[in-house]
Structure formats: C-alpha cells, structure tokens
C-alpha cells in the first residue's frame, strides 16, 4: 500500500466536485411531473395505428414476440375497380388491439408492416391504474396518429439501409 493513497483521494475529489457542480449549476435530471423532457422524434413511446392502411394481413400479429397484438377482421365485397369487372374481396378490420401490459417496444410490428399502417410515436404518458386499461383498441391507437412526428429525412447514405419510409 502506498503511503499516500492517491487514487482514494482522487475519488473523493470526483464526488465532491460533482456535489458542488450540482449545488451551483443544478442537476442533470428533470423533476418529472413539473418539467418534462421532450423525447427524440424517433423515440419508441407508443405505437399508433393508421387504420385506413391496415388490411388485417396479420403479419404484425405473427411477428410480435410478446403476442400482444390482437386483430380480427372479415371479408367484404367491394365494388370493382373497372366498370364491368368482378366485385373485389377486401379485408375489413373489426378489431386491432395492442396490449401495452405485454408490449416490449421492440418495434418489429412497425418494421414488418407492409402497408404503412403502424408507426412509432414518442408519447409516453399513458400509464393506467388498472392493468386492463393498458389494452388500447383501434380508436385509441388511431388517436395516437396525431402525435406521430413528421418524417425526418435519413442521414446521407442511410437510405440504402432503410427499407421503407414512414409516412
């Protein structure tokens, strides 16, 4: 053991410097309910549903590692595209629920959606006193669409990797 433990004294200096810094300049943290930090635009806060784009293809349901997406739909006959054609059969969405009590925010559903129907929103304040209320139905998921930020262009060179451009 060295006669003067320099490292130990240096350690005490570090904590004391941080203490004075906090007293003088204030803390790095934010006093949450009173002041809020704006999360970055691509933060994974909540998943929003753009209902018109959804075809109930069930890809997100099957890819979801937590099985927290529930989709029910039925087929309907839509008028033909061209005059004289056969009526088309389209999927109609009856139910689209995400259980945020189960969701682990991996974002696979957003990635996998081929029809641009699921988006990330940076909103994060939707805790509930009852766990059952964490199941957001399609109206609630649709309301989150308002909070989805406008698409920001990727950095130069990143387009190659990006498979799809949201919105």
Partner 1 sequence: MTLFGLDLVIPLKLLIGIAVVLLPAGTTVYLYLFKAVSFMQSRLGPMEAGPYGSMQLLAEVGKSLQKEDIFPAKADRTVFAMAPYVVLMSTFLLAALVPFGPDAYFVDLDTGIFFALAVSSVSVVGILMAGWSSASKYSLLGGLRAAGQLVAYELPLVLAVVGVVIQAGTLNLQGIIAAQTGGEIFGWGAIGNPFILTQFVGFLIFMIAVQAELTQVPFDMPIAESELVSGYMTEYSGMRFLMFFIGEFATAAIFGFLGSVLFLGGWQIPPFVTDLLGIEADSNWFNVIGPLVMVVKMLVLTFVIYWVRFTYPRFREDQLQTFAWKFLIPLSLVNIAFTGLLKVVF
Smallest distance from partner 1 to CB 24, Å = 10
Counting beta carbons within 10 angstroms of the beta carbon of residue 116, is it exposed (0 to 12), middle (13 to 18) or buried (19 or more)? middle
Work out whether 29 is an interface residue with partner 1 (CB under 8 A): yes
- Token pair recorded at residue 32: 């949450």
Which residue, 15 or 89, is less far from partner 1 as judged by CB? 15
Q: Are 50 and 70 in contact (CB under 8 A)?
A: no
Say whether residue 35 binds partner 1 (CB under 8 A).
no
Q: How far is the CB of 125 from partner 1 (least distance, A)?
A: 18
Q: Is 156 in the site for partner 1 (CB under 8 A)?
A: no
Of the candidate spans 5-13, 88-96, 97-105, 139-147, the one that interacts with partner 1 by CB under 8 A turns out to be 5-13
| Segment lying near partner 1 (by CB under 8 A), choices 11-19, 43-51, 100-108, 155-163 | 11-19
Instruction: Please tell me whether residue 8 binds partner 1 under the rule CB under 8 A.
Output: yes
Task: Output 31 or 127, the one with its CB closest to partner 1.
Answer: 31
Task: For residue 61, give Cα distances in angstroms to 21, 66, 69, 127.
Answer: 49, 9, 5, 23
Is the CB of residue 94 less than 8 Å from the CB of residue 68?
A: no
88-99 β-sheet, strand order: 69-78, 88-99, 135-136
Cα distances (angstroms) measured from residue 157 to each of 153, 160, 162: 11, 6, 10
Q: Is 2 in the site for partner 1 (CB under 8 A)?
A: no
Closest CA relative to residue 134, chosen from 110, 105, 109, 103: 103
Does 12 interact with partner 1 (rule: CB under 8 A)?
Answer: yes
13 vs 114, which CB is nearer to partner 1?
13
**Residues that bind partner 1 in the complex, under the rule CB under 8 A:** 1, 8, 11-12, 14-16, 18-19, 21-23, 27-29, 31
């Amino acid at each position: 053991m060295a006669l003067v433990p320099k490292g130990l004294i240096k350690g005490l200096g570090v904590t004391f410097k941080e203490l004075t810094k906090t007293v003088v300049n204030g803390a790095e943290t934010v006093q949450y309910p009173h002041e809020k930090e704006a999360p970055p635009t691509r933060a994974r806060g909540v998943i929003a549903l753009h209902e018109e784009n959804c075809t109930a293809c069930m890809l997100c349901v099957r890819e979801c590692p937590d099985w927290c997406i529930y989709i029910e739909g039925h087929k309907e006959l839509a008028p033909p595209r061209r005059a004289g054609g056969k009526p088309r059969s389209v999927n109609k969405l009856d139910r689209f629920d995400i259980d945020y009590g189960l969701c682990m925010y991996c974002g696979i559903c957003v990635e996998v959606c081929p029809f641009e129907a699921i988006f990330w929103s940076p909103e994060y304040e939707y805790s509930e006193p009852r766990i059952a209320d964490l199941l957001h139905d399609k109206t609630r998921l649709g309301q989150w669409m308002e909070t989805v930020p406008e698409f920001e262009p990727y950095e130069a060179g990143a387009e190659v990797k990006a498979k799809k451009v949201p919105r």
